[in-house]
A and B are shown apart, each in its own frame.
Chain A
């Protein structure tokens, strides 16, 4: 009976056919491999000529952004664009043809393999005998497997369900939520949709060092004047900060962000602005291009996290003394991180971050000024990729934070270094003007008030610069300058009528903003590193020992209150609706009326 199907294999003819099939399979396989090789070569070639990711094209576009009228660059872009597109079209056409060839080759290969592996004579299995025990075991095994697979599917769905949270307001709370959104500034910030944080959104928050625009001015006038840390009066909450750092708090709606670091560890903290609860604490680690060497910092002041973070309401960005930059979303998920390299800085990097539209600006001054190391860098805030960077800045390591100002002509980034204050086009990073107004170790950041840029440094002068010049404006655009009562660490403050400057040894001086005439000077007999702030017509100063001094802004000195926080501090305060957030050496305080 079985001979009927097996006897035909005794002839050598099928074996010869099989051998032919094997040879055909080898030939078809070789052909397919050759086509694959061709495809691979073309693929790698296409990567280099990818119109969407061409670095040359991107560079040309950046160059065009700096020189919008340059016809030569435009022509270069057109030619390169055309060349890349043609190359891609060729790549696609080749891919389509090669695909058909490959399909044909694969078909032949498949047929040949199937023939070569065809078994007319199947292996004769041993006779199976039914065994109740084996059958029962098989059933148990199958049941278990069914339960495992079903359980795995159900558990996967359940786990995914647990991870997802709904943001939809419940029908009951919908009306009140909408009504509230039209009244409260914080809620207004939540509801409207703008391209980037609009100026109004930014004004309602405290998104960077010294708040909106880096001016140290809050729009809220209802912030407390006095408090008592010992009795708790005027202190809404007080939360410990895991790691030290002189960086200042920033606020966006109901969240307060801080950074902290040690020699080996760097972290970002997010607090609930209403309760002080630490919502999340995220390490910044495994950052590409991290230097194995620790940075040089002022360790006694916790200089590993001296730079204040920044936020655009979408993500929070932090930089540390070792040049690592990281971005987290508001849920604490790492969006990206990048290492800029260990900065060559005498006291450690302290310049804080700021944002401009979808760019994160990093003033990375280092070295001697002659070695070409200093740069202003703009990163894409969504991806962390380099958007542009300036030509090497002619300044050595500096510690001031840049500001972005809006002038009728353009948006400018104002930077300070020794000896130049330099303005860059905020969109492209091209230099607009520079003024030789600084000296020594530049720490105070610039401010913009009454249409003038103010820079100041002890040992040189305070300068009022008109920002509408080009090139070197050291002589042409200085509205006034003065050389008394100058700051060495703290940044200046202005109420648009006067400019106030605070020295680390407590000397506060006031100048008329238009004439540059000194109006008054006052020795506060306190030490300061924190920069002054303005809320309404009141100036807020916080001493190194945590003494908060509130003054009346005006042509005459008038002290309104002094309150003791009971903790040393170096950071500058952050202001919100009816509240002040102050970072002490160990705690984050929220000052306000209960």
Chain B
């Protein structure tokens, strides 16, 4: 009996590795198939052509969701955020955080089908700010503000266990690999670009691109366009080996939280008083959020920017200070230049960007038809046997929109005028977006030039999503936990 058990165990590491790789492959395949299965479910047909007895069903509008249920959502959010704070900062337990994460995935994800969500609420709030005619529900405002406020005080506890998008990626992570720091830095600026673009499109009333390209909502709803499913599949498959790729490299709300978290009053900490620099927290963190110690500097001495040609020990304090100031001025000037040049480019690109606006797109279509550059048709339909690509479908939609517009009898000049107004707003927005992009690049370059002054391994305030993995592996934390446990059983021992 024992022999039969021992043999497989001896051959275990290779066999198990093989099985694990095989299982991983199966998982990839399954996820793809799962998405494909959902994709088929969204096809729609026209009514039957030949059935004299067929009665068209009367279209019905679904009743609005009961208001108390919306308040329940806010209450659950508030409770989940509070519990997350407790679990992250007080309980310091990965297991409990994982439990809350699964609850949030079930409630905000599969039960509420990914809506309302804090990430998409950015757009509602922005549109409400710029369009007096848009009434944003209080629930949405609460979903926008509560995580921000909690982050300001407690760090990214929302990302830790409340956001369903973070949760689904977190549970999918099977075999994390480290993303190189240079790549992490480079891709880390993309969420800010996305945030800027989302704000621009929302503020101009052109569309909610965050929702439009939400990669996971189709999973939560088990239905969606092929494009959305494909994007979601891509993120989930990458997420098997790269920790939370959407949160780190695309999430616009995460970009906001990153900024706010830098100023948070309390945050995830390891064991600042007795870090032994074992680096296990760094190994345990799949999100590259553990920062290494910098050069050992005397207490109270400011760090000198890198790239100044000054290295430790080869210059006096006054020279270092001057060089540091000069470098900072240089970076500041570069940032301003970047803001101006990117702003100019943004304004130049406003024409292209404005095509996302329905009024502009329709006006362009009508103008193209008038110029003989686009297919003109009032009642032709694409043959039902033709499968249209996404771009063809967009073209077809525009053709139908143009047809509908002409049937309204509205003067074309009015449409053109409305399109010009929208385009002018994009021009202003393009300047602002470009300047914002320049600012983000400039700040990133500056931040890379500042030498860290920490002397221990510690979680990055901005990037740490408070998942609690480092707690489990930090030996000093384990000692602290043991001490606490002993303190509970034996009051004579201090906890």
Contact = CB atoms under 8 A, between A and B. Distances in A.
Interface in B441-456: 441, 444-445, 448-449, 451
A32 B31 CA distance: 10
Given A22-B19, A105-B30, A136-B307, A252 B372 contact: yes
Interface stretch (B149-157, B251-259, B341-349, B459-467): B341-349
B41 A195 contact: no
A522 interface: no
Contacts of A158: 345, 348-349
B405 to A, nearest CB: 10
Contacts of A127: 277, 279
A77 B50 contact: yes
B171 A110 contact: yes
Contacts of B369: 193
A370 to B, nearest CB: 33
Contacts of B282: 125
B406 to A, nearest CB: 5
Interface stretch (B8-16, B61-69, B130-138): B8-16
A139 B449 contact: yes
Contacts of A145: 182-183, 185-186
B284 A81 contact: no
A92 interface: yes
B40 interface: yes
Contact of B30 (A4, A32, A141, A254): A32
Interface string A298-314: 00000000000000011
A436 interface: no
B190 interface: yes
A498 B423 CA distance: 59
A150 B441 contact: yes
Interface in A143-170: 143-150, 153-154, 157-158, 160-161, 163-164, 166-169
A288 to B, nearest CB: 16
Contact of B306 (A51, A139, A153, A380): A139
A125 B281 CA distance: 11
Nearest to A61: B49
A77 B182 CA distance: 63
B45 A195 contact: no
A141 B278 CA distance: 26
B416 to A, nearest CB: 6
Interface in A15-53: 15-16, 18-19, 22, 25-26, 29, 32-33, 35-36, 39-40, 43, 46, 51-53
A551 interface: no
Nearest to A100: B222
B323 interface: no
Contacts of A77: 49-50
Contacts of A253: 372
Interface residues of B, number: 110
A313 B448 contact: no
B226 to A, nearest CB: 14
A78 interface: yes
Given A29-B22, A168-B420, A81 B37 contact: no
B385 interface: yes
Contacts, number: 290
A472 B54 CA distance: 42
Interface in A82-124: 82, 85, 88, 91-92, 95-96, 98-99, 102-103, 105-106, 109-110, 112-114, 116-117, 122-124
Interface of B: 5, 8-9, 12, 16, 19-20, 22-24, 26-27, 29-31, 33-34, 36-38, 40-41, 43, 45, 48-51, 171-172, 174-175, 181-183, 185-187, 189-190, 193, 222, 276-280, 282-284, 292-296, 306-307, 311-312, 342, 345, 348-349, 351-353, 355, 363-364, 367-373, 375-380, 382-387, 402-403, 406, 412-413, 416-417, 419-420, 423, 437, 441, 444-445, 448-449, 451, 473, 475, 478-479, 482
B19 A124 contact: no
A383 interface: yes
A57 to B, nearest CB: 9
B27 A113 contact: yes
B174 A110 contact: yes
A330 interface: yes
Q: What are the 5 tightest A-B residue pairs by CB atom distance, in nearest-first order?
A: A145-B186, A167-B367, A29-B26, A161-B352, A161-B349
A2 B475 contact: yes
A252 B372 CA distance: 9
A450 interface: no
Given A99-B222, A161-B352, A195-B378, A167 B368 contact: yes
Given A36-B30, A51-B45, A190-B371, 13 more contacts: A39-B36, A78-B50, A96-B222, A109-B23, A125-B279, A145-B185, A157-B352, A168-B416, A171-B417, A189-B372, A193-B369, A194-B376, A196-B377
A113 B20 contact: yes
Contact of A128 (B292, B379, B382, B386): B292
A124 B278 contact: yes
A74 interface: yes
A408 interface: no
10 contacts: A22-B20, A26-B23, A53-B385, A53-B387, A58-B385, A78-B51, A106-B30, A110-B174, A167-B368, A194-B378
Is chain A's interface secondary structure helix, strand, loop, or mixed overall? helix
B278 A29 contact: no
A164 B355 contact: yes
Contacts of B380: 195-196, 357-358
Interface in A372-426: 380, 382-383, 385
A106 B445 contact: no
Contacts of B312: 132
Contacts of B363: 168
A122 B284 CA distance: 7
Nearest to B365: A167
Contact of A146 (B24, B174, B419, B444): B444
A517 interface: no
Nearest to B33: A36
A333 to B, nearest CB: 11
A112 B353 CA distance: 46
A72 interface: no
A219 interface: no
Contacts of A4: 475, 478-479, 482
B185 A142 contact: yes
Nearest to B377: A195
A561 interface: no
Contacts of B345: 154, 157-158
Given A106-B34, A154-B437, A174-B416, A96 B190 contact: no
B186 A19 contact: no
A109 B416 contact: no
A90 to B, nearest CB: 12
Given A143-B445, A164-B351, A196-B377, A92 B40 contact: yes
B190 A103 contact: no
